[in-house]
């Protein structure tokens, strides 16, 4: 008989290999990928803020005509410079329109407040020198942030031959460099010709502002200016003499009244 032998059983299959866990460091490295949307949002916000700032700067330049006040010798773009203002009669105007309607250019003298002593002196000096200062074709205007009513009263009382411009928002006053912070107007003078060239821009007292315009007119060939200024000075002196005389008369009258009272109280 043939003896049957059993074949040996095959060896068991090896257990499946275990998957290695990802290193902790790698997980941390991949984490920033989840933060990318937040970074993009932040960048977009910065771009939007920068765009808004640019728009605001452009608007400011448009309303004022310049980011910084112009200097003597520079040329400005008249259209849109200083925004819209108003005459004491209530007419809406712009600097560009005033220059266009003039023969040679515009003089703007600024003053803090209508009908105050210093401003009255300044306005009257320009009044008394009006003919010689306008001999070359320059148009003169007073400029303040007063109301039309206040400036009309000022103009009428002092018999001023030129218009007074009202700039409550100080847009033109700021554009030419005479706005005080936080509010108010610095006394000064600004002269611009038909081409937008700044012939003068200077702060100063009542007489000094007239002297600035005198220099401009002389340069333009107005020989009558000296005679006009002499006339203005004579009128100023006469005005002071009249005030002194009036004070003397009032004092004498008061003394006479006191003497009369004393005599009435004396027993006969």
Catalytic residue selected from 95, 106, 119, 200: 119
Give the whole-angstrom CA distance, residue 141 versus residue 167. Answer: 12
Give the whole-angstrom CA distance, residue 175 versus residue 66. Answer: 7
Token match 């060239």: residue? 197
User: Does residue 226 contact residue 234 with C-beta atoms inside 8 Å?
Assistant: no
Neighbours of 63 (CB within 10 A): 16
Structure tokens of 4? 């049957």
**Angle of helix 225-264 relative to helix 206-220, nearest 10 degrees?**
150
User: Does residue 217 contact residue 225 with C-beta atoms inside 8 Å?
Assistant: yes
Task: Name the burial class of residue 221, with classes exposed (0-12), middle (13-18) and buried (19+) by CB atoms within 10 angstroms of its CB.
Answer: exposed
- Does the annotation mark 119 as catalytic? yes
Which residues make Cβ contacts (< 8 Å) with residue 208, sequence separation at least 6?
A: 202
Active site residues: 119
């Amino acid at each position: 008989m043939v003896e049957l032998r059993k074949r040996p059983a095959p060896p068991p299959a090896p257990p499946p290999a275990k998957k290695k866990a990802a290193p902790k460091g790698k997980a941390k490295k991949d984490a920033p990928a989840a933060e990318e949307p937040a970074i993009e949002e932040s960048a977009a916000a910065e771009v939007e803020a920068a765009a808004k700032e640019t728009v605001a700067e452009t608007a400011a330049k448009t309303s004022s005509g310049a980011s910084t006040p112009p200097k003597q010798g520079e040329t400005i773009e008249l259209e849109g410079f200083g925004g819209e203002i108003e005459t004491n009669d209530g007419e809406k105007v712009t600097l560009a329109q005033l220059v266009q309607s003039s023969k040679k250019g515009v003089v703007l003298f600024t003053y803090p407040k209508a009908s105050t002593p210093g401003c009255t002196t300044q306005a009257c000096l320009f009044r008394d020198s009006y003919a010689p200062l306008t001999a070359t074709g320059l148009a003169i205007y007073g400029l303040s942030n007063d109301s039309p009513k206040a400036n009309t009263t000022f103009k009428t009382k002092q018999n001023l031959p030129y218009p007074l411009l009202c700039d409550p928002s100080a847009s033109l006053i700021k554009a030419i460099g005479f706005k005080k912070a936080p509010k108010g107007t610095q006394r000064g003078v600004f002269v611009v010709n038909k081409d937008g060239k700044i012939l003068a821009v200077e702060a100063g007292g009542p007489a000094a502002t007239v002297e600035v315009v005198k220099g401009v007119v002389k340069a333009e060939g107005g020989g009558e200016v000296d005679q006009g200024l002499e006339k203005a000075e004579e009128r100023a002196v006469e005005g002071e003499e009249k005030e002194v005389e009036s004070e003397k008369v009032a004092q004498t009258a008061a003394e006479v009244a006191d003497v009369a009272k004393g005599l009435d109280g004396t027993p006969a």
